[in-house]
Structure 1
Amino acid sequence: MAVKKQKIASGFARVFGSQPALPKAHVVTVECDIVKGLHAFAIVGLPDKSVEEAKDRLAAAIKNTDELESPKKSNKKIVLSLAPAALKKEGAVFDLPLALAFLLASEQTTFNPKGKLFASELALNGDVRGILGCLSIAIAARDAGFTDLYIPEENFEEASLVNGLHIHAITSLEHVLAILKNPAPEKAAKKVATPRVLPTEDDGALDEIRGQESAKRGLIIAAAGAHNIALYGPPGTGKTLLARATASILPDLSEEEVLEVTTIHSLAGTLQSGAMFRPPFRSPHHTSSYASLIGGGSSGVRPGEATLAHRGVLFADEFPEFHRDVIQALRQPLEDRVVSIARSKGSAIFPASFMLIAALNPCPCGFWGSTRCECMPHIVEKYRRKISGPVADRIDMWVTVPEMPMEMLVMRRGEKEKRTETNSARAQIASARTLQRARFKDIKGVWTNADMRPRHIEEFAKLSTKAEETLQAAARTMRLSARGYHRTIKLARTIADLAEHASIEPPHMLEALQYRAREL
């Protein structure tokens, strides 16, 4: 016996959905108006192609849910509106609120939409599918004063990072209607904390790299203050290994950073689990385009590698081999810690506060200065010129990674490999980062010494009289730019933190000065 379908009544209803975005989603009002007249079914409010296609998805989902009448079967004029109209709506995240607005307006269901926000894609059989950017939606819902959030079960873990919300993990249109019809018996699933994935001893450990003590010291300083660092030297000396070892020595993200980073990767579709507790490590290929590194693309404004590396590491191996326009594009994020993207389909400002690790050879063949070098002088000059002065000035540390004698690379018979360097480096960096978090706890957007703006330096990076004299003399001799001057102070502050000194002394300043850019 066929299930009797309900008749579609005329009426009006309003529910709430959300458009995922960075750093926070936009709350969208979803309205449905049903009146008598010639059959029509339209979605208005600046929808993109995927939102337009929602008409077919929600019609099929409603038809395949028991006792519900599809909007395409009615003889009414149905208009669904997404407000504000000026905001571009994209993605399938509006399927569920559109369906519920129609069902509420047509009197096929009844519930109080106050305090409730809905976000989900609908399958043709009425099941719900996971969405991108769910964490940004949860943050927006909390900040806008919503009390209940209805999302796919697949996205529950990331949304549960946000406190102050009653989160309902739903599996189908029928399921959410049952919850809304009988709210008392239904309880939202308990929030389960995602276990932290700590680095293991084999995660690119420093212990695996023999020798290169000065390079390791430079890397520890860079990681402690999130400073940009360039590792340069002949091929095969361990530059890439050193860079990748950074992932194993950085401390966990703070609670606020976890929300920032997870939101970005949720929206980009690169989230592997419910949350990211470890700093991201991104390593784009040297053939990467401008859009893939900075963001954008033909399908809309999307975050690039610079944003995906936010609060983590952006590793640029073979740095001079990147396209010149890509290298130049790093000037803004290296200075302002954000990227500005303007496209015909929209514009956006994305966070991009990362630590750059650039690995490069001194010439195309890599053996400049030795008898093995086969490069002509003009070829070497062209190769080095790809890294412009402004980009080089934004790199805080230039560290040489020289060739090591063979006897240092080979483990002597009977010698046991020691695995203490990585743990020691982790402890030093964690201690320095703890000092910095306490120092900047009242300043929004400043987490590390590298984040300091010039106005913060006088207050938080105090120089002793002798250290200031040392810097002034070096600034004249080395012809430091204003940027180089400030970056040297910030680097010296990190070195002092590693030494647990309250003020910056001459030894800290001298070590910082030796890392400034010079002839490769």
Structure 2
Amino acid sequence: MTVARTWAVALSGLRGDLVEVEADVSSQTPEFSIIGLPDKALGEAGRRVRNACTNRGLDLPKRRITVNLSPASLPKRGSGFDVAIAVAALSTSVAMDAARVATTVHIGELGLDGRLRPVPGVLPSVIAAQRSGHSRVVVPPANAAEARLVEGMEVLAASCLAEVVRWHGGSSDAAELVAVEAPASAGTDENPLDLADVVGQPEAVDALVVAAAGGHHILMSGPPGAGKTMLARRLPGILPPLDDEAALSVASVRSLAGDTVTRLSRTPPFESPHHGATAAALIGGGSGVVRPGAIARASDGVLFLDEGGEFPASVLDALRQPLENGTIEVHRSGVAATYPARFQLVIATNPCPCGQYGVPGGACECPPQAIRRYTRRLSGPLLDRIDIDLRLQRVSSARQEGDARVVSSADARGRVAEARARAARRWSSTAWRRNADVPGTWLRGPAAPPPEVLRPLDVALRRGALTLRGYDRLLRVAWTVADLAGHDRLRLDDVGRALYLRQGAGA
């Protein structure tokens, strides 16, 4: 008997691998076996498929059905293979268009009544199908708008298994499959949080613009009520809109996390996990299927750790590897997944547990040992990866002073875009576009400024006040300061401004 074939997708992080689903009928003994490294949820697909076929009046052979998932060495997880398995099994007895079945990717879980239920990760699955040369995919209706975000793919939404069989040429009284139209094009999202709302913190606003222009990490310390959270939440609003590739990546991570995705958002994501979050919540994890954590969800956007001194030291140290590599690798028993981690880190912390240490007019009652323990939560290696250290004090006036310069998000976003365009032109012959991405070997080599400009950094390095990593980060900030000032070459005052931002601006 001819073996029936169709396709499904196995996900490992954002990477999807096409899986050929083969079905064959052999003996007269009724049995349904699935081979090819299925997990427990996938191994139970045989029962769901039999009940779905029975309840939809579809003729599944009452014989031994063997379903092979190829390549057999690739682990497969989840219930998203149900529809592909059912179509392949039915093709062994129901007259269907074999060529159409063999060129269609099927994604979705089956209910016992034959309905197609949504599954997470449809967007990265459709992207993987397209990259493998396929142009047609069948998905549950709840995932259809998400799947249609991939341009050039024919997306067919089926509410039940009988509709899929009918579309493939099988006999069924079900309605036709619905070809889903593309959702409305998503432009730049409106961000209601405006930088103009920030009162009495001009140094902090300037530092935030520098961070946005260069993609730099920032630490904000100060008493409660100084405006740390207010500033951090306005950072995504002054970042450039996401391009197509970044928007798809952000939407794919959201899809894997189980969120509903119906359009491509152009606003950089903003993630703010609670200080009680575990390391697994930050880096990702789960049983069987590895879900993305806050680090991956913040990729191409902002990861904000409010009350940074309250996070366990082990959780904060989990940030060090993704900050350097731009990716996060999650390993669980028999499972490994890699997610993007190209985020801007913003940490806000109080000066002590009560928040009053060193505050004019404040009364701190924390013992010295508690203050030292609190501040040591932020380890030296983590602080060495911070580009800008911003010290804030409480605002002394509820209104903008008459001569104070009010900076709106639109104005700041324009300055950021100009600075990034200048940096992109400077690094056009390289693989980098943001100053924060340029390696130190390049900054100290082909792009090195004259020795007299580097003298302050060299002195700090010799005195041990800087590590070489900190030296490179100061150079990146200095180039961003130069870009915002419209300088074509790095100047001594640019380096001085970078040192000021590194050593506690506003203190």
TM-score calculated relative to the size of structure 1: 0.89
Instruction: Please tell me whether residue 469 in structure 1 is matched to residue 455 in structure 2.
Output: yes
Residues 126, 137 of structure 2: 8 Å contact kept: yes
Pair 217,108 (structure 1): closer, same or farther in 2 beyond 3 Å: same
Aligned partner of 1:4 in structure 2 is none
Measured against aligned partners, the alpha-carbon deviations of 1:298-336 in whole angstroms (never above 9, x if no partner) come to 454221111110010000001010011001111111111
Q: Which AA in structure 2 matches 1:383?
A: Y
Pair 494,418 (structure 1): closer, same or farther in 2 beyond 3 Å: closer
Q: 2:67 aligns with which of 71, 75, 80?
A: 80
| Separation (CA, whole Å) in 2 of partners of 1:177 and 1:78 | 18
Q: Could you tell me which runs of 5 or more consecutive residues in structure 1 were left unpaired when the two chains were aligned.
A: 1-9
Deviation at 1:366, TM superposition (A): 1.3
Pair 339,365 (structure 1): closer, same or farther in 2 beyond 3 Å: same
Aligned partner of 2:471 in structure 1 is 485
Q: 1:137 aligns with which of 97, 104, 125?
A: 125
Instruction: Please tell me whether residue 349 in structure 1 is matched to residue 338 in structure 2.
Output: yes
Measured against aligned partners, the alpha-carbon deviations of 1:139-177 in whole angstroms (never above 9, x if no partner) come to 211111112222223323332332343332333222222
Aligned partner of 2:173 in structure 1 is none
Q: Could you tell me which runs of 5 or more consecutive residues in structure 2 were left unpaired when the two chains were aligned.
A: 171-175
| Separation (CA, whole Å) in 2 of partners of 1:475 and 1:41 | 68
SS of 2:345's partner is strand
Pair 439,152 (structure 1): closer, same or farther in 2 beyond 3 Å: farther
Aligned partner of 1:316 in structure 2 is 305
Instruction: Please tell me whether residue 45 in structure 1 is matched to residue 36 in structure 2.
Output: yes
Residues 464, 503 of structure 1: 8 Å contact kept: no
| Separation (CA, whole Å) in 1 of partners of 2:219 and 2:26 | 66
Aligned partner of 1:280 in structure 2 is 269
Pair 148,297 (structure 1): closer, same or farther in 2 beyond 3 Å: closer
Q: 1:267 aligns with which of 256, 268, 280?
A: 256
Measured against aligned partners, the alpha-carbon deviations of 1:60-85 in whole angstroms (never above 9, x if no partner) come to 2222324x2245xx1x1111111222
* Structure 1 runs, 4 residues or longer, greater than 6 Å off: 415-419
Pair 344,394 (structure 1): closer, same or farther in 2 beyond 3 Å: same
Instruction: Count residues with an aligned counterpart.
Output: 498
Alignment of 1:332-343 (within 5 A): 332-343=321-332
| Separation (CA, whole Å) in 1 of partners of 2:167 and 2:448 | 59
Q: Which AA in structure 1 matches 2:317?
A: Q
Q: Which AA in structure 1 matches 2:25?
A: I
| Separation (CA, whole Å) in 1 of partners of 2:132 and 2:451 | 51
| Separation (CA, whole Å) in 1 of partners of 2:152 and 2:439 | 33
More displaced stretch, 366-375 vs 210-219: 366-375
Pair 148,87 (structure 1): closer, same or farther in 2 beyond 3 Å: same
Measured against aligned partners, the alpha-carbon deviations of 1:441-484 in whole angstroms (never above 9, x if no partner) come to 6766x452212223443578552453223432343346211100
| Separation (CA, whole Å) in 1 of partners of 2:405 and 2:164 | 57
Deviation at 1:420, TM superposition (A): 5.0
Residues 148, 180 of structure 2: 8 Å contact kept: no
| Separation (CA, whole Å) in 1 of partners of 2:33 and 2:68 | 8
Alignment of 1:407-422 (within 5 A): 408-410=397-399, 421-422=408-409
Residues 393, 517 of structure 1: 8 Å contact kept: no
Residues 288, 335 of structure 2: 8 Å contact kept: no
Residues 390, 504 of structure 2: 8 Å contact kept: no
More displaced stretch, 326-335 vs 108-117: 108-117
Deviation at 1:419, TM superposition (A): 7.1
Q: Which AA in structure 2 matches 1:451?
A: D
SS of 1:514's partner is helix
Deviation at 1:517, TM superposition (A): 4.8
| Separation (CA, whole Å) in 2 of partners of 1:294 and 1:328 | 11
Pair 59,320 (structure 1): closer, same or farther in 2 beyond 3 Å: same
Q: Which AA in structure 1 matches 2:211?
A: A
Pair 290,397 (structure 1): closer, same or farther in 2 beyond 3 Å: same
| Separation (CA, whole Å) in 2 of partners of 1:298 and 1:215 | 42
Residues 292, 305 of structure 1: 8 Å contact kept: yes
| Separation (CA, whole Å) in 1 of partners of 2:189 and 2:375 | 38
Deviation at 1:272, TM superposition (A): 4.6
- RMSD of the alignment, in Å? 2.6
Matched-pair identity in %: 36
Measured against aligned partners, the alpha-carbon deviations of 1:354-408 in whole angstroms (never above 9, x if no partner) come to 1010001111111212551112222211111111110110111100111222xx2
TM-score calculated relative to the size of structure 2: 0.91
SS of 1:100's partner is helix
Pair 29,369 (structure 1): closer, same or farther in 2 beyond 3 Å: same
SS of 1:25's partner is strand
Deviation at 1:102, TM superposition (A): 0.4
Deviation at 1:34, TM superposition (A): 0.3
Deviation at 1:286, TM superposition (A): 0.3
